[in-house]
């Protein structure tokens, strides 16, 4: 099946620093990628939809200046958490939609990135 | 407003028995539903899906049933295996294929040997 990778898998940073998370579709092209955040024992919350070659669409309540998203190519989207604070500590998961998948059109999820801000 | 709900946060089943995970939704615009399985510290893995024009889809040990009038879907796993122990999320999508998924809160399934 389709594979989506995320890098890094785990990152610890100091408060005030910025962290970049990469999401790559390894064997398919993805015009659309999604970024989710999962708090402990809670569901996946969509943060933003990343569209190749255009600006990301952010969900209500998500600060676009804090969570910068860039979708530079059909296989790569990046999420940068700027000036991270302890409350940004979370599990961030990306997913990618295969443009050739047709009706089934499932999203393929990355393995997630655990961010801990000290 | 939670548009997709999984009212049972956890479920415990004996190995070999049937596991039934339930999901309710409120938005009648949803036309495609998916189930994902998730282990801790990993991304969700797609299991099975169903279009709103169907009422049942089966794939091996997994069957999803959709009751549109009740806005209810369920995932049946039979026979359940210890390796099925994970958190299961149902998700719904509306409109065209480019739209986002709305997830339920998840149900933790524990299959006891």
Lowest mean pLDDT among A37-41, A64-68, B36-40, B80-84: A37-41
Q: B39-66: per-residue pLDDT in tens?
A: 887 888 889 999 999 999 999 999 999 9
Residues of A in contact with B105 (CB under 8 A): 42-43
Chain A CA closest to residue B91 = A44
Going by pLDDT thresholds of 50, 70 and 90, the confidence category of residue B97 is very low
Asked if the C-beta of B32 comes within 8 angstroms of chain A's C-beta atoms, the answer is yes
Going by pLDDT thresholds of 50, 70 and 90, the confidence category of residue A102 is low
Average pLDDT, chain B: 92
Yes or no, beta carbons of B34 and A46 under 8 Å apart:
no
Quote the CA–CA distance of B105 and B58 in Å, as a whole number: 23
Q: A41-63: per-residue pLDDT in tens?
A: 678 888 999 888 888 999 889 99
Quote the CA–CA distance of A73 and A71 in Å, as a whole number: 6
Average pLDDT of the residues in A33-38? 92
Tell me the three state secondary structure of residue B82: helix
* Pairing of the two strands A90-97 and A113-117: antiparallel
Going by pLDDT thresholds of 50, 70 and 90, the confidence category of residue B75 is very high
* Pairing of the two strands B86-94 and B101-103: antiparallel
What pLDDT score was predicted for residue B71? Answer: 96
Residues of A in contact with B36 (CB under 8 A): 109
Please determine, for residue A15, whether its predicted confidence score (pLDDT) is greater than 90. Answer: yes
Residues of B in contact with A110 (CB under 8 A): 43
User: What would the two tokens of residue A101 be?
Assistant: 């998948």
């Amino acid at each position: 099946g389709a594979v989506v990778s995320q890098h890094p898998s785990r990152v610890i940073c100091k408060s005030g620093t910025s962290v970049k998370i990469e999401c790559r579709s390894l064997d398919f092209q993805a015009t659309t990628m999604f970024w989710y955040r999962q708090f402990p024992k809670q569901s996946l919350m969509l943060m933003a939809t990343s569209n190749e070659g255009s600006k990301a669409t952010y969900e209500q309540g998500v600060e676009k200046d804090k969570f910068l998203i860039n979708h530079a190519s059909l296989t790569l989207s990046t999420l940068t958490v700027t000036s991270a604070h302890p409350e940004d500590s979370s599990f961030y998961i990306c997913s990618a939609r295969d443009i050739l998948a047709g009706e089934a059109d499932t999203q393929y999820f990355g393995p997630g990135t655990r961010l801990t801000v000290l | 407003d939670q548009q997709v709900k999984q009212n049972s946060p956890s479920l415990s089943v004996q190995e070999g028995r049937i596991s039934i995970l339930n999901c309710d939704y409120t938005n009648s615009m949803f036309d495609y539903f998916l189930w994902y399985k998730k282990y801790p510290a990993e991304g969700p893995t797609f299991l099975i899906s169903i279009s709103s024009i169907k009422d049942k889809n089966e794939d091996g040990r997994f069957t999803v049933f959709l009751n549109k009038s009740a806005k209810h879907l369920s995932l049946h796993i039979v026979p359940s295996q210890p390796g099925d122990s994970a958190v299961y999320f149902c998700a719904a999508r509306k409109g065209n294929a480019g739209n986002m998924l709305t997830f339920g809160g998840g149900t933790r399934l524990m299959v006891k040997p």
